[in-house]
Structure 1
């Protein structure tokens, strides 16, 4: 693929959300010098690659995912010299850097859009997507944006609507225009020439719109109660997606030693294979969302905000399919957490009594699979969701818009809306990184841009580093195993007991080696009944999240609450 070798497949990625990682100047906002000051921590954890969320110039409507200048650093994060110093410091520690490439949309304050919206005759007008109003002046259809409301925003100067799948300040770019594509490839070369090692590509499967070729703009289907969900199905996976990505590879990626991952809502397994195939694809990895949508009520008026308990059998079907179908024909990204998702220990584990055990269990489950594991900052500490008491304490545009629409248009009480945000809101992942038990948790000498998690005095990096049994040191051990064991990289995945509602069990097999992974997803003790061909094997414990008390026997095995085991079979 775009990488010179497959060595990257043994690596682990760490995502930094710069606003919340480390503040160096006391303004309450994390920055690039702050990241540089904490790189020894990442080196100690053992990660190989950092995915850095956007640090480009931006009005910060969506915390940097609305970019006004792709070649400049936002002043709140520092300077280009700060960036170059950080990159050099990463490389000195053997850590590579993936930038966030956000090219489905720009900011409405980008010079391209300032020009584009001024006149239909402007050369930049075709850099964006426009549609005529209906006869009554209303938007061309009923498509719903990700952050609530119509995807269409009126532009008075040209008498048209422009498309924005996210905020109205994030107009979608027109990839049908070859001049626009050339601009994107040029800005990618700008960063690669600085020594950046690759890109995480934001909602990259939206760059080809299904309707762009013929201009048809059908209404999206209504869901229950006559309301709409975000219209991703109308704007993802268009007919030219692979063409555009292969052109990107040919024009840019093949000329550098890069690592790439594409974020792809609604991607199918077939698309995953097509995009990440080592010979005919375009990117190294894909972020798919199937497993992250399993705890939402499908077709519900409020989309992801209507939560339901996870059915472990559904998780097995989804993950098993991606594991099996991409084996030898593509590559998986393994994640439970990022800047857009709530904390996994609160979502899929137990953030109370069994916080440490369930955080380690989830890590074992994820890191045992085939693909590249991603760790989101604080995940290695077992950080949990936050429950601010007032909507005024939240900062995320998606959560704020949801609260407003839910309470003014959808009949939810403020308490119901806040409860949904406590469960699924993106700010759960954005509270500042707790470095120690001091005032402001060592994140800043000033007032943080968003409040710290109240448990920061107990759950922080200093505490974790000092405790050999912490979640942090468990992650270190898992990362080390991936580097040491070819079976974790190349082994075939084989799901066991697909119908079990509490036990997730699978094998990794390579040549004559077999590795068994057992994970109790419940708070109760569990009697394990494995298939006879597995249960009668001798088992050698490799790692587990409870202290090893006795020789491991698979027949009659009982797992403690949220217990995880990884063992060799002989």
Structure 2
């Protein structure tokens, strides 16, 4: 394995296949559409793409209910289409990652069809079945992440089965060695086909407490946050046995890796930092990158962010490589959460912190949450807990490519409506505007690729006051300072002598005053090492 794997200096780009590019007019994005847009991604400057699930599925949860782990859903194309996409990506120097969904399958997966057929079926123990409580109700108080009990009664066999999400998504029993072997073979199947890695869905969920005790109630539960938060998921997630499974996955990834061509595993894990770090493994035998989601929900406060960055860096185990995320297919878009001006500052933060950044499709345009009329809602979470603002449809709206009908996404009716400002905020328009969010991302990614200090260098926080967050990146004597004004007023800052390379505000960076950040400005300065 290479001493510095490719993913340490890479910028990743998440594609939600439903919404990226439709090639056949059915209103749903597909693999051929993605292949047709690869040159855009190369020009953008990302290094790898991650596809949300593309496997055969009834789509109760838009592909996170998998009915066949080794196929392609016809909505997206065929295995031949996938092979073509993979080859085209590789020919352009792009890596390709898939979404692995190991916690649960579809209730229409042949394994579950067999499992629920009878109590003595050979695959009965491939899923989690329990007798009713003495009162006939669910075995315990565990709650689905989508609200309601996480247990569903099966009248045919007279037991409950467990599902952390929808009842159409029964959880696999990873304590069964046969399940473990079958799912690890899925990784081998796709690695052998040439994929470069996986994002592992809800990795911290996949093992449950063997005794199924009640989860402790949350005394501070706010119903507005969703019913899942009514209890602490102490026994239904983050069990010690999960780390042995992660080690098995890591061994497979490492076995398929070659010098200069490592495979990577990225774990979706929503846990506090001190528990997140365990997923690196005690000696690097865990996933390569346990996703760090802190920026998504962090209060937009300079002093708080500085403490968060310092604490995260200090918590990393020896050899652990950091990573950062601003948004994804489940969470509000950065431009909606922070406003358009600060979304530019946030983009500079994401792409200049030490570690591997992941961009969510459309964030490079400054896409905001879309408006979804009630009759167009598709997300089961919104349908199950309406009115709480937990629905994910608004962050999954189609990518606008130009100002033609349906934004160039499809020639048909898009599966979700486009965002309201797509005639002005689209790829073609922003490519023509040197002050656009897309132009800023081009510049940031170009600078990151050309500058070892940004790609792999060390980080040192610089003491600052008020709304200013500042830090230095250094590699082999090359020093860059990043100074970010998280406020809407001018902010004084003390920076070393140097040359301004890039500002988030329009105009040449040489116009920036290194002693005073303008409102909503982020600045990258190359330090004069001779001064």
TM-score (norm 2): 0.92
Equivalent position to 1:269, from 259, 266, 274: 274
Q: Specify the alignment match of 2:326 in structure 1.
A: 336
Match of 1:563 among 521, 528, 531: 521
Q: 1:278 & 1:48 partners in 2: Cα distance?
A: 29
Aligned partner of residue 502 in structure 2, secondary structure: strand
Q: Which residue of 2 aligns with 1:285?
A: 289
1:462 is the counterpart of 2:428: yes
CA distance in 2, matches of 1:50, 1:129: 34
Are 1:368 and 2:328 counterparts?
no
Residues in 2 aligned to 1:501 and 1:234: alpha-carbon distance in whole angstroms = 42
Report the equivalent of 2:112: 113
| Secondary structure of 1:342's aligned partner | coil
Specify whether residues 155 and 43 from structure 1 end up closer, same or farther in structure 2 by C-alpha distance, changes over 3 A only: same
Matches within 5 A, 1:100-499: 100-209=99-208, 211-212=209-210, 215-224=211-220, 228-230=227-229, 231-256=232-257, 257-269=262-274, 271-272=276-277, 274-276=278-280, 279-294=283-298, 310-326=300-316, 329-348=319-338, 350=339, 355=340, 357-388=341-372, 390-403=373-386, 417=387, 421=389, 425-497=391-463
TM superposition shift of 1:30 = 0.6
8 Å contact kept, 2:468–2:493: no
Cross-structure match for 2:500: 541
Contact 1:13 1:47 in 2 (8 A): yes
Q: Is the 8 A contact 1:286 1:331 kept in 2?
A: no
Q: Secondary structure at the match of 2:71?
A: strand
Residue ranges of structure 1 left out of the alignment (5+ in a row): 296-309, 404-416
SS of residue in 1 equivalent to 2:406: helix
The Cα shift of 1:511 comes to 5.0
SS at match of 1:205: helix
> Alignment partner of 2:153: what SS?
strand
1:237, 1:267 within 8 Å by CA — same for their partners in 2?
A: no
Contact 2:382 2:392 (C-alpha < 8 Å) held by counterparts:
yes
- Per-residue CA distance 1:291-321 (angstroms, 9 max, x = gap): 43446xxxxxxxxxxxxxx445433332332
Distance in 2 (CA, whole Å) between partners of 1:216 and 1:184 is 23
Q: What's the secondary structure of 2:244's corresponding residue?
A: helix
How far apart, CA to CA, are the structure 2 residues paired with 1:225 and 1:73?
Answer: 40
Per-residue deviation, 1:277: 6.0
Contact preservation (8 Å) 1:464, 1:473: yes
Distance 1:393 1:268, change over 3 A: same
Displacement of 1:225: 6.5
SS at match of 1:234: coil
Q: 1:387 to 1:561 in 2, by over 3 A?
A: farther
Q: Select 1:525's aligned residue among 485, 489, 505.
A: 489
- Aligned residue for 2:7? 8
How big is each residue's C-alpha offset from its partner over 1:20-53, in whole Å with a ceiling of 9 and x where there is no partner? 0111111111111111111111111121111011
- 1:484 positional shift: 2.1
- The whole-number CA distance in structure 2 between the counterparts of 1:222 and 1:29 is 40
Contact 2:400 2:409 (8 Å CA) reproduced? yes
> How many Å separate the matches in 1 of 2:184 and 2:26?
34
The Cα of 1:563 is off from its aligned counterpart by 0.7
Counterpart-to-counterpart distance in 2, 1:236 and 1:429: 26
Contact 1:43/1:93 (8 A) holds in 2 = yes
Deviations 1:436-470 (A, max 9, x none): 00110001111001111121100001111222332
Query: Compared with structure 1, are the counterparts of its residues 143 and 82 closer, same or farther at alpha carbon in structure 2 (3 Å cutoff)?
Result: same
Contact 1:276/1:285 (<8 A) preserved: yes
Residues 437 and 460 in structure 1, CA contact (< 8 A), matched pair in contact too: yes
Shift of residue 226, structure 1, vs aligned partner: 8.5
Q: Which runs of 5+ in 2 are unaligned?
A: none
What's the secondary structure of 2:483's corresponding residue?
strand
Note the aligned Cα RMSD (angstroms).
2.2
Q: Is the 8 A contact 2:26 2:410 kept in 1?
A: yes
Contact 2:101–2:200 (Cα < 8 Å) also in 1: yes
Q: Contact conserved, 2:126 with 2:172, CA < 8 A, in 1?
A: yes
Secondary structure of the residue aligned to 2:102 is coil
8 Å Cα contact 1:520/1:559 also seen in 2: yes
Change (3 A) 1:198 1:155: same
| CA distance in 1 between partners of 2:392 and 2:521 (Å) | 28
Return the alpha-carbon distance in structure 2 between the equivalents of residues 233 and 451 of structure 1: 39
Query: How far apart in 1 are the matches of 2:191 and 2:407?
Result: 35
Measured in 1, the distance between the counterparts of 2:510 and 2:11 equals 31
Q: CA deviation at 1:218?
A: 1.9
